[in-house]
Amino acid sequence: MATPTYDLLASTTLTSAVGNLTFSSIPQTHGDLVIVTSGTFSGGSGISFQLNDDTGSNYSMVATGGNPYNTFSNTDTSFRLAYYTISGQSVCIGQLMNYSNTTQHKTMLARGSSATTSVQMIASRWASTAAVTKIKIINAAGENFSVGHTFNIYGIAKTVV
């Protein structure tokens, strides 16, 4: 079996603070997308993903995680594909599977961690068969992403079976 390669499709490092960032015109040439973000968050901030400008109730997710004080789990059906609540220097990685497929709903497995506050794992679904051509990454607490925050989107080659 061939080892999948990660092709960098888009990369941004913020030079000014912004509340959201949109990647559009995503090429339909790969099987999965991997979204990696890294930066510093203030307390209670987080990340959510919105696909193709869909702000409806087509999303569902289940999350679990923990911090030095407790563990938690929750579900949500809001306008976001995944959501992390974190603070401090953090890394979030999400794999959006079959994003270019037009016959099935989209799913994402994601994880986020901070050295000082928490670790979270999230499984999400977007109830749409539309190919993903646009991803909006939102600071879910309504705050800004800090200067120096990085966002990378990688494409993983389609698997031939």
For each of the domains in the chain, give its residue range(s) and CATH number, in order of start.
7-156 (2.60.120)
Structure tokens at 15: 């030079």
pLDDT, one tens digit per residue, over 6-32 is 999 999 999 999 999 999 999 999 999
Q: Give the C-alpha separation, 45 to 37, whole Å.
A: 13
pTM of the model: 0.87
Contact between residue 118 and residue 75 where contact means Cβ atoms under 8 Å apart:
no
Q: Give the C-alpha separation, 137 to 33, whole Å.
A: 14
pLDDT, one tens digit per residue, over 97-112 is 999 999 999 999 988 8
3-state secondary structure 45-82: EEEEEEECCCCCCCEEEEEEEECCCCEEEEEECCCCCC
